[in-house]
Structure 1
Amino acid sequence: MHIAIVTENFLPKVDGVTRTLARLLEHLQAGGHRVAVFGPESGMETYAGAELYGTAGIPFLPYPELKLNLWRPEFTRKLVEFEPHVIHLVDPVWLGAAALAICHTKLQDIPVVSSYHTNLATYCGHFGLGIFTPLMWRWNLFCHSRCRYTVCPSPSTRDMLEYHEFQNVRLWPRGVDTTLFSPRHRSCSLRAEWTGQPDTPKTILLYVGRLSYEKNIGLVVDAYKQLDHARCHLVLVGHGPAHNDIKAECERLEIPVTFTGYLQGTELATAFSSADLFVFPSTTETFGQVVLEAMSSGLPVVGLVAEGVRDLVDHRKTGLLLDTTGLTVKEQAKHYKANIITLINDIPLRTVMSNNAIKSASRYSWWEAMECMVQVYRDATEEARLKHTMLDIDNQQINKHSVDERGDSGVEEGFSEEELDDLDRAEAGKSKPIEPLL
């Protein structure tokens, strides 16, 4: 298939969306598909065999790392020339909306599908723009409703979308590399580097993700402040707008925290497997890829009852989930701290949860996950083909009805208009009355 992908986000930025897209492109290359990607400038011409077309964007002021990418006239030409069999819009908001307009005018017969990755409407509240939450839901619905299918990564996210009246929602799950994310990569030297103690007895609490307030990172920090730091140590992997504030506060209060910045590949896998607990307080996930990677690495998860996360973590079996409904910020920190303490103190329970987490994560295969998306492409193109076939049949029936109304026998069906006119003239000549003999 020829598959065109339009995305608001791409490499070299590293997050759940870009990592999933990279996996998808690698899978499509292995399947022999031809792919073109239209998105923000990446500095690359190709990735995993896919042709990359980049554009500039305007920084989104409340969230400078996000950009409103601009549709270039060159994109239109390249997209039409590519002759796609299906077009995939990734989190369509700005660039994806422009692509919808182009599809409507230039590529009306090509099926379009979309994927929902980011809870932008929820983010509005975290940015102090809660008044725009309903508007963002309406805009998301407008964009996705123009697509044949909308795919999302988890059952709870699907439920949320259907609640907001999204139609034709299908699942596109995620996978995990169980060879890379494995307890086998545990490093005593890394643990010693983090804590400053060889063979440290401390329980390592690990967070991986953006250090930003929409990720609810403040809950982890507030809970950690109240813990016994002689018994545990917090490691924050990632970066973001809250980094400097968190670091300054921890230094001011003399709270021991390790900041590693962004990690990838084997460094990230080693960090996962060298920790003891995964602390993840986000309420805005559509899946929670880092949660799955933590579980595959043998880490029990201390999280919240929220979309995405609650589909992965089995409460009291692979971790502990806190329901924050009706709780104040102070109460949330208190109960979250209690869950962390429970797993710090109960090593046998932690061990059982660790084994359960590894087993649970092993059920998620990247190949099967990516095949789900390929099947969506196949279904969309097949439905488009059937639709065109039905339209052709309808048109033939209309033409036949038109011919029958002209009194013809029907044997001329399939003739051109010029041929039909010639036949009409011939019939007219044959039907002249016979003159009587004199």
Structure 2
Amino acid sequence: MIQVMPTDFDAPKPVDYPSVPPQSYTQEKATEANQAFDQAVRQFLHQWIEQGTVPDTDHAYEGNLQDFVQQGALRSFFKHHDDALERLLSHDTLARHLLRPANEVYFEPDAYEPLLATFERRIYNLAAHREHREVPFRYSSPNRQGAYGDSIGLGDLPPEQAREDIGYYFGTRRSDNTALNLLARQLRFEARFAMVLPTHVLNEGYMAESLRMVRHQTEQRQAEGDTELHCYVIHRRHAIDDRHLGLATVLMNPQQPHRPQRVIFHDTLRPNGRAPWWNTFRRCLDSVFPQPEGEPPASDFLEDGGVNLQRLHDGVPIRHQDIDCAFYTAAMGRAVVQLAKQSPELLVNGPIEELVSQMTERMTDYFEGPNQPQHPDTIRFTNIVRRWETGRAALDDVRQQYLLTQSEVAQPPAQPEALNWAAPDSLGQNPDVSVAA
């Protein structure tokens, strides 16, 4: 089973999503679904124009209306409506296609590029111009978009500008803030149930800022008289000039906020037996937790809880490069949270080798068993599915929030008589009014 992020992160448990073998959904089915979606968008845009709700719509095109609908109408729709994506998602037919699961998507061989409808790709690209409306992994950067929101292919560029990089492919685009916030939200939800060892998830700032937040919160707990051990799981990029994501587990005793009780650095690459970011993290740790003269630095107690999952890029075609550290580190974070709930003593005092083994046993998307990674091709397609489902979760968030807002707007304020409360003189002698609290 491939466990992907649920579209409702307040659900009591994560959604188990069946494994999606490559090419389980045919190109013919995808093409048919895409054509139906494009036609539905054309009808939607026709209706929008006919309603005439925007004064200058009639003058937004010259000549043939059909040409305008096929080309510039969608961009005009986004231009005239700040909630354009929300309006599209409130249309059930359009929403069903945009929110389809990964097993209803055709991923092209080799690069695993999803086969998208013409208007679908435009929607993702145009939505990316709005803050907090980016659909993770599904949009091209603004400088790679055409006049109508189409993605510009390498073949459409002059030879001197046709430069291939990771931003060109669905499977190699970096995780944006929307994706990282969704991953962090799921981790936070799971951490709420760590009762024996209170666990907190941090994803603010960069690694150094998160460590400072750990110390600050621990100092606050000391001032409040807290004596309980706390676990912090940090899931952040290393620095503003380093896009790699790392994970750290920090155990803090509120009575000793100046020195962590245990610090474990988890990374996804160990090319020479040690993560490339090891020394960088040591420096961050010592800068946030400086020790008195004569005392060993905090970094002397740093432990390596990393795993070898991410593939190195030497000699690898760009379309095959592994830019999925966000998913690897989130999986490690979930494993740490599960250990905090199920085996807190191991997390507090257990040997690091056993702790890592227990983590990998819980990372079933990436490991067949303890310390036994899945085949690289299996891992790669798992991440392709995760990328698609992350975008699906982001879209579902936008849709649910918009529908909730619309229902609140449509619902008139309740009048006192509409509450159906009994008049005081009709209540019994000992009325139970606790439900009104």
TM-score (norm 2): 0.26
- The answer to which structure, 1 or 2, has the higher relative contact order (CA under 8 A, 6+ apart) is 2
> For the pair shown, which has the larger CA radius of gyration, 1 or 2?
1
Higher strand share: 1
